[in-house]
Amino acid sequence: MTPRTHSQGFGMTSLRTRERLLQRLYDQGIRDEKVLTQIATVPRHKFMDEALASRAYEDTALPIGHGQTISQPYVVAKMTEAILRDGPLEKVLEIGTGCGYQTAILAGLVRQVYSIERHLPLNTMARRHIRNLRIHNTSLLHGDGWKGWPARAPFDAIIVTAAPETLPEVLLEQLEIGGRLVVPVGPSGRQDLLLITRTEEEFVTENLGAVSFVPMLHGKR
């Protein structure tokens, strides 16, 4: 059974629309009740342009400008569920803040979220969204995600919301022992969502299935 939504902050969307989204996520295999509750709680329509807000609770990616998208709710839930599989986390790094939606989902589930965005206007937008929702356990950086955030490493988990064609080794190095990296890898149209766990001896990779993300680019703008 999926969690019930509540009405606070959702005046522009119907309760039925939001509950349909949660039911769809559940039907597609999302079982972590905390993840489903956080999806129900965070007002996705607050993270996108008003012209698209009526589509906020569709299970689809939507444009947010600068060639970027707000991720599909199912993919957000799947990636979040994957890193939380073994229980609560302290420090999580997100590569690709975008509008801040995934950041806000993580903020309700872990102690501290660090997030990097290469586009300054998106970094500014995400800061505004996070501030408006009175979320206080995030640190947002305008920077190059390919470098990670070495000053804050190591991390219990890293989520990458854009697709590199090859795995960035530096992100593996910034994982804590036992930490997990979830990242879409591959060229456009042929990406696999990988869950990589760092052990004392090696990195163990699990393929979570085919996905479609915007490419992960070097540098900042």
Predicted pLDDT of residue 66: 87
pLDDT digits (tens, 9 = 90+) for 170-188: 999 999 999 999 999 999 8
Angle between helices 15-27 and 73-83 (to 10 degrees): 50
**Per-residue model confidence (pLDDT) at position 189:** 80
Domains by residue range for the chain, with CATH: 60-211 (3.40.50.150)
Please give the pLDDT value at position 13. 52
Respond yes or no: is residue 54 known to be catalytic.
no
Question: Could you read off the pLDDT of 12-26 as tens digits, one per residue?
Answer: 456 788 889 999 999
- The whole-number pLDDT of residue 12 equals 45
Segments in the chain below pLDDT 70 = 1-14
Write down the catalytic residue from 71, 115, 139, 188. 71
